[in-house]
Structure 1
Amino acid sequence: MEFSNLSDFKGATASSLGKGPYAVLIAEDRVEFESSLNHLISLGFRAILIVAPDELPVPDEPPSSEIKQHVIRHPSRQPGATEEVVNALIEKVPGQWIHYCYNGEYLFFPFCEDRTVGELVTWVMEERREAVLTYVIDLYAGDLTAHPNAVDLDGALLDSSGYYADTRKGGVEGDEVMERQLNFYGGLRWRFEEHVAKPKRKIDRTGLFQAKPGLRLREDHTLTDEEMNTYACPWHHSLTASICSFRVAKALRTNPGSRHDISDFRWHKSTQFHWSSMQLMELGLMEPGQWF
């Protein structure tokens, strides 16, 4: 189903969208759009909403009749576009799980090679959790001469260390320490922070969550229910996930303000990415919690 604009989507019935879990793929350009779409399909999402401008072509049909694919024609690079679309979906499908990502991004959760996202969210609900905190892990090409936009699936690198967290504060006065919430940093946003606006330097994103009435996604990738932004529940460690992403590397190599200052993303802590959930867990970039 294709919606000619966001207003048309808002007018659609929830039943026409199919059943969840839902994935929202925000297509900012064509770079690795199809690989990101195929990755979502492989994880077991039952309904995928593609947000794309009019000029960006998208596949007509999903590869399986069991998967619902919808296209929302909307300027995906417009400020606030992500929140507009995700919040519109939240209103339609209370109780369903939603993941959102951009082209060139790939969700990994513990043991995702053998378990579906449906199995994951079922287990998370049994743990009395309504959200999975995700860390956006930067991927980048090792050879920028061969891959000037820094995107290379076969030779993708990531930082094996250099990640850290600090206290998150909020509340009415902005000085209240938020319980079980931290701001996480690392990757290219940390190493090249002079080229990244301060509000964009965090790598944490509440990237998989259960919709409910009144819930809203905010510009900083957090939700208005503060408990859903926590990295763990009060009684034990919670499962977390990673979104492996070329988005920052691509931006640093294409934006006029940074592309001439960066000739190589590699450093002594770069390592080959094996597209493996086990590798991400071994590097401490996500946590299985009690899910064995």
Structure 2
Amino acid sequence: MRYSSLEQFISQRGSALAKGPISVVLVEDDVEVDTTLRHNLQCGFEHVLAFMPAEFDLPRDLQETIERIDYDTAREGATEAAINAIIEAAPKQWIYYCYNAEYLFYPFCETRAITEMLAFHTEERRDAMLTYIIDLYSDDLDQHPDAVSLERAHLDRSGYYALARPDADNHGHPKERQLDFYGGLRWRYEEHVPPARRKIDRIALFRAAPGLKLREDHTFSDEEYNTYACPWHHNITATVCSFRTAKALKSNPGSRYEIDTFKWHNSAPFEWHSRQLLDLGLMEPGQWF
């Protein structure tokens, strides 16, 4: 089903959002849009919403299985406006958001549906889940000048680190159970990435609540949502494997001609399997086995 605006979608289909989990895909360009949407359908989301420019097209099977909303994803504040509107329209439902050419992986996702994981996470009294944005890139930029190739996808197997997140309201002391995570292409090519966009952490999975707001830096107005774990033990974390940074570095004039290859000695072929991400320590199952 297609809607000409976010307002039309909420007025006509808002009641359908009373059942989750809900996937929101913000489409910034025409790269791997169909594979992203199909990946989210395969994860088991009840609704998959595609916010995308009106001029983009979709295959017929996706036109019948997702909710398409015509939306200008390039305007300032587009992500926060879309997600905050869905939060208000879908109280208490689990929501996942990503961009095109991004793929969610969570522990044991090959055999367990997203609903199973979120049910367990809810039982642990958690309303949000930390996800790491793990950069993917083609190993051959001559063959794939936009750096995107599902068949030749690579990732960094090391080079990730975390720093304490200072609390401006508490004289700069570290926030409790919050860290800023770095690594991947944003770390290796940080001279081309604004400081505010260098972090690789995102609370991509969360439960809607009254008054909850997503902020520009991918954190939420409720500070407990921004924590990596509860106070008593480690929780599940997940990854969003993403070509987004590689695409940006190869499309922006300031970096396009400075990068001949993203490969380095710590590159490894991406196996498209949760076991690789678990083995590399890029996500953890917590108490979920």
User: TM-score by structure 1 length?
Assistant: 0.95
Contact 1:5 / 1:72 at 8 angstroms: preserved in 2? yes
Deviations 1:33-55 (A, max 9, x none): 11111100110011011000111
Alpha-carbon distance between aligned partners in 2 of 1:220 and 1:163, rounded to the nearest angstrom: 19
What is the aligned partner in structure 2 of residue 56 from structure 1? 56
Contact 2:18 / 2:93 at 8 angstroms: preserved in 1? no
Alpha-carbon distance between aligned partners in 2 of 1:94 and 1:70, rounded to the nearest angstrom: 19
- Residue 271 of structure 2 corresponds to residue 274 of structure 1: yes
What is the aligned partner in structure 2 of residue 209 from structure 1? 206
Deviations 1:215-260 (A, max 9, x none): 0111111111111111111100110000000000011001111100
What is the aligned partner in structure 2 of residue 169 from structure 1? 166
- Residue 188 of structure 2 corresponds to residue 191 of structure 1: yes
Which residue identity is paired with 2:208? A
Alpha-carbon distance between aligned partners in 2 of 1:244 and 1:74, rounded to the nearest angstrom: 24
What is the aligned partner in structure 2 of residue 11 from structure 1? 11
Alpha-carbon distance change, 42 to 169 in structure 1, aligned in 2, over 3 angstroms: same
1:72-87 → structure 2 map (5 Å cutoff): 72-87=69-84
User: Secondary structure of 2:109's partner?
Assistant: coil
Deviation at 1:102, TM superposition (A): 0.5
Aligned identity (percent) is 54
Alpha-carbon distance between aligned partners in 1 of 2:62 and 2:142, rounded to the nearest angstrom: 35
Alpha-carbon distance between aligned partners in 2 of 1:128 and 1:76, rounded to the nearest angstrom: 33
Deviation at 1:61, TM superposition (A): 4.9
1:1-292 → structure 2 map (5 Å cutoff): 1-17=1-17, 19-62=19-62, 69-172=66-169, 175-292=172-289
Stretch of structure 1 that moved more, 52-61 or 219-228: 52-61
Which residue identity is paired with 1:7? E
Instruction: Tell me the number of residue pairs that the alignment of Structure 1 and Structure 2 aligns.
Output: 289
Which residue identity is paired with 1:108? F
Contact 1:17 / 1:70 at 8 angstroms: preserved in 2? no
Stretch of structure 1 that moved more, 15-24 or 241-250: 15-24
Unpaired segments of 5 or more residues in structure 1?
Answer: none
User: Secondary structure of 1:206's partner?
Assistant: strand
Deviation at 1:78, TM superposition (A): 1.4
- The structure with the largest helix share of the pair is 2
Alpha-carbon distance between aligned partners in 2 of 1:182 and 1:175, rounded to the nearest angstrom: 13
Alpha-carbon distance change, 174 to 204 in structure 1, aligned in 2, over 3 angstroms: farther
Contact 2:139 / 2:261 at 8 angstroms: preserved in 1? yes
RMSD: 1.5
Deviation at 1:177, TM superposition (A): 1.6
Deviations 1:180-219 (A, max 9, x none): 0000000000000000000000000000010010001111
